[in-house]
Amino acid sequence: MKPGLHLRINQQLALTPQLQQAIRLLQLSSIELEMELREALETNPLLELSELNGAANESAEASDSESPAEAAASSTEAETPNREELDYAEPMDFGLERSDYSAGPAYDDGEGFESQDQEPEDLRDHLLWQLNLTPLSARDRAIGVTIIEAIDDDGYLHESNEILQQNLATLYHVEIDEIEAVRHCIQRFDPLGVASRSLSECLCVQLDAFDPTVPGLATARALASEHLEELARNDRARLCRQLHTEPDDLDAAISLIRSLDPKPGAAVSPGNAEFVSPDAYAFKHNGRWVVSLSPNCQPKLAINQQYASLIARARRDDASYLRGQLQEARWLIKSLETRADTLLKVANAIVRAQSGFLDYGAEAMRPLVLRDIAEEIGMHESTVSRVTTRKYLHTPRGTFEFKYFFSSGVSTIDGGAASATAIQAMIKKLIGDEKAARPMSDQALAVELNRRGIEVARRTVAKYREALHIPSSNERSRLG
């Protein structure tokens, strides 16, 4: 092949460092953004917090009576003088209380505060505390610790005695009977029934704590120990025959069973509470919904003029370093402005699209996809996806992730569409209003929704019901 030179024209998208930074900042949550900016302030001498931001922080610290919503409104008003001016003579209805916010410390009548960083007590700690208060030998205490370490979050012990015996082999050679004796002791700890190996055993332990004179107790013990499967099928006639009891006694026994806790450890094993700080607020003013960004989404950075003035008279290497840091500082400030502007555009578009939800609740949620918002604000779907991830909007109905407001649609008889969220809300309301003795089946729910103009199949109703963690009609009949 003869060598030669050829010209070729093509288009190629190049991600500049500035664009890469803007994209990365866009997808950060408010907490991650704060950490990013803190690191930037520590590493770049050309960056500093602006005086306006510092004054706002001092004002916030000096005024404990100002709510987070009011702070957001005043901050947005001060920082966006060119936007449409609102008449603030009338108080704005943010629908917020101090208790709605959990990002800061929980104050106790001004006499101090409880740190939110305090580690919550889990089931293991709760049981070990009781074990240490129980008079036991060192041998039995070691057995107890081994058992407690093997209990799951629901309070059940799935490890066999042989496995527990092997785990204790490095300390003591113990017999199976010793393990069982300590396990029975732990089963009487709070909550009752922990360390049980089955649901039947767990319920029986809890029933043992009742006064022997409680009506239906003997029948309840028989149900818990031998007839849980029949009880699950709600076959009352068969249960009466098998237990040789009257319907009234059976009803009393079933009421006792329902009062028990099938997962005793779950109440003592709460997950770590997750605290979110809203990125934007939606509130009604003069009859229309208005969106305000949180001050945390608009951190004010500025160029340190003292260091910037050194560039002209610095040595070549130092001047080159300072110019590089100056360029990075400018890029970061510009990226933050772009992030705040994009976030506000998306939040406004969401609020406009879902004003029905804000006014009337989940049943008025309309179908909405990323493409709808992207087309309205003139941006790409991927940009909208980044903005809606781990960003939260506070409304009078609660704080929701932006993605909550997006859902697919189901056709209606009149040619419109209903969102999946609205249909789920309708199903939840229908089930909440049903008669306990005659719960609605999935087919009955589908028929009722069709009657209301929503074309939905039974299997779709079942899918939405399961997503709401609502049992089937048979299970609701048993539980009711």
Tens digits of residue pLDDT in 393-405: 999 999 999 999 9
**How many helices and strands (H and E) does the chain possess?**
22, 10
- Identify whether the C-beta of residue 239 lies closer than 8 Å to the C-beta of residue 255: no
Q: What is the pLDDT of residue 348?
A: 95
pLDDT at 269: 61
Q: For domain 409-479, say whether CATH 1.10.10.60 is its number.
A: yes
Structure tokens at 45: 């001498």
Q: What is the pLDDT of residue 147?
A: 95
According to the model, what pLDDT value does residue 453 have? 84
Residues 121, 125, 131: CA angle, nearest 5 degrees:
145
End-to-end CA distance of the chain: 85
The pLDDT, as a whole number, for residue 196 is 94
- Contact in structure between 280 and 393 (CB atoms under 8 Å): yes
pLDDT, tens digit (0-9, with 9 covering 90-100), for 427-437: 988 988 888 77
CATH 1.10.10.60, the chain: domain bounds: 409-479
Residue 273: its pLDDT value, please? 58
Say what the pLDDT of residue 480 is: 53
Per-residue model confidence (pLDDT) at position 14: 57
Q: One-letter amino acid identity for 448?
A: E
| Low-confidence stretches of the chain (pLDDT beneath 50) | 53-117
pLDDT at 58: 43
